[in-house]
Chain A
């Protein structure tokens, strides 16, 4: 048994921390709220670091690394609120690789960026079809449909869709097609809500040409769950950052003659952040291991990681504000930037609540089998 990071993984993590540390991403998160153009373009950084091909096999021109390696990079992005377009690209690239997509090497290099128009696999209480995010409200929307090599439909709140070159579209019956985003009939409307660190878009496809990928529905569903664990990993990185900042302040801020961190109420709340971080991280480990060695458990592991990390993120970002008192809730402080990203992240790709329901569904299915 060995669950410690390997030397290569430590190197990958440190290199990511270093590369993302060269850009003032947290400051940019504030500026971009007023002017979205201020969001730094981190894609060149990603390509240079080799992250674009992280999940593409070596024969396809990638690094052939595992899901946990991708999570390590996502954690670093979450730590500094970096809007690097991996959430869309990495799951899409894994499907393009599995489906032996012709233009794979450019995707692995990052010269052509991919985005996943993710659909939620059937299961849960929603019936047998694959569904996508609704533009508004709680009712799931139908995934796009394909007729021959033509695909039509609308997918909203798609991570990293603006500017992507290849869109991997999942249809209502769980097939996946690669769509060239440059063609006529593809429209991507950039959208911004509450947090300016992420690129999101509403995508409409009108009988556009798609190349059907030779992948199984299981592989398609694992792309959805891969996106779930990347969101979870980002969240764990943010939680760690919130904990570090809150602990530092609790040591230096004094009231009634004592550092506030010596008060049990504050101390216990910070330990609670740590406890939630540890649980979420353990589930990232579970997800990483199952992706390599026990693929049938990956949906359970990924959903549990997303659920746990989502709740940890909510708790940690609120606690960061509370420990700082009133100032933590103002524009003067960074805490609201972490809070804003947390609020949006928790609602993306089905939301953390949907992941929680999947955990229940998977557990119930296991004991019924």
Chain B
């Protein structure tokens, strides 16, 4: 039972600390004017890439360090302690780059990975659609191959983080509607400046637009834009989703919902701090939030011993979201309407969490997956198995009318 670094990890931590001591002052300042944030964070990622701190888990041949998740976590901890941001393109470097490494052609790897690492080209993930979220294989964005081998793409994607300043997107499209839905999919690399691409900010409860909707209107794609083969898109997507799970699973602590943060707000009201009901609620959510911290350490310990975490790692996300919702609710009950001021941190949490519940797949589907894959319970009845996608859609339309 040991939370300490091994000598090698301690040495690595020292190196990261040493680098930060020298260079932390070059990091983007907080409260930059909005238009300066992205350029500053791109420059910072470039700086980190040069220092070997941007993609430590990537193999050396692609510009990474060939290190493990623990070193990644050490960087995260040290950067957080130093109060400096990490890389800008977490989605590209954490999820899409590894997908291209696993499924892309040699040309794609040499063309795209370097600029991605250095933030010369930022990437976005174009998977979810208005009618395809948890059931991702139901995507309807349609790519049709032309006689000259090129493709024409039409459709809509949603929840696209960073789309407004991305150079490329990795996009899952249907290329054959006459086969069962998992089989007719293909993954594409899409230049975001191509003609026919429209990006629109999607405002959330908070009023901010952290995501985008992206529309594709007969967009032309080169013949070599596919990743992992025509009709093999689902397998390629699963690779991305596995890396997404790792990013989310080890990242929930990084959301900053530490119990002390909520306790501090309550402690500011001496009456509340002595109220039995307030204390019961704080004690319950405090316990949940503390458990997340140690669930995170358990996950790391598993990773360090070489095992890949299973879907049960998703339980930590369910707990984090539920507990943070209750904690913000408690603080708002204590502080009253002031806690709902637009610029208040708790108002932001209150606004942000209802959507987070469905991020990376809805909680309901996550519970199904864990019930089936971890507890071994029998699967939900599936009405779409083996049925061509076009026929499924026809049935849906008929059922609605």
Contact = CB atoms under 8 A, between A and B. Distances in A.
Question: Do A and B originate from a single complex?
Answer: yes
Interface string A254-269: 0000110110101110
A357 B173 CA distance: 53
Given A3-B1, A363-B286, A304 B291 contact: yes
Contacts of B274: 125
Contacts of B315: 271, 274-275, 278
Given A2-B301, A283-B287, A366-B263, A360 B282 contact: yes
B280 A353 contact: yes
B260 A363 contact: yes
B19 interface: no
10 contacts: A1-B297, A266-B377, A270-B375, A279-B291, A279-B292, A279-B319, A360-B279, A363-B282, A363-B283, A364-B282
B309 to A, nearest CB: 12
Contact of B367 (A271, A278, A355): A271
B201 to A, nearest CB: 34
B334 interface: no
A322 interface: no
Nearest to A124: B279
Interface stretch (B2-10, B107-115, B181-189, B213-221): B2-10
Nearest to A310: B287
B35 to A, nearest CB: 37
A193 interface: no
B364 interface: yes
Interface of B: 1-5, 9, 70, 259-260, 263-264, 266-267, 273-274, 276, 278-280, 282-284, 286-288, 290-295, 297-298, 300-302, 304-305, 312, 315-316, 318-319, 364, 367-368, 370-372, 374-381
A34 interface: no
B279 A361 contact: yes
A251 B376 CA distance: 8
A209 interface: no
A55 B100 CA distance: 53
A4 interface: yes
Majority SS at the chain B contact face: helix
A289 B284 CA distance: 21
Contacts of A356: 279-280, 283-284, 287
A183 interface: no
Nearest to B305: A4
Nearest to A5: B1
A196 interface: no
Contacts of B292: 279, 282
B94 to A, nearest CB: 21
B263 to A, nearest CB: 4
A271 B366 CA distance: 10
A120 to B, nearest CB: 15
A152 B16 CA distance: 60
A250 interface: yes
A288 B294 CA distance: 11
B364 A264 contact: yes
B3 A1 contact: yes
A367 B70 contact: no
B283 A367 contact: no
A66 B1 contact: yes
A294 to B, nearest CB: 9
**Which of A272, A311, A363 lies at the interface centre, i.e. has the most chain B CB atoms within 10 A of its CB?**
A363
A200 B266 CA distance: 39
A258 B300 contact: no
Given A264-B368, A285-B294, 18 more contacts: A2-B301, A125-B274, A258-B378, A261-B375, A268-B364, A271-B315, A271-B367, A279-B291, A283-B287, A285-B297, A286-B293, A289-B1, A293-B3, A304-B290, A356-B279, A360-B263, A363-B263, A364-B267
A283 B378 contact: no
Nearest to B73: A1
A292 interface: yes
Contacts of B294: 282-283, 285-286
A247 interface: yes
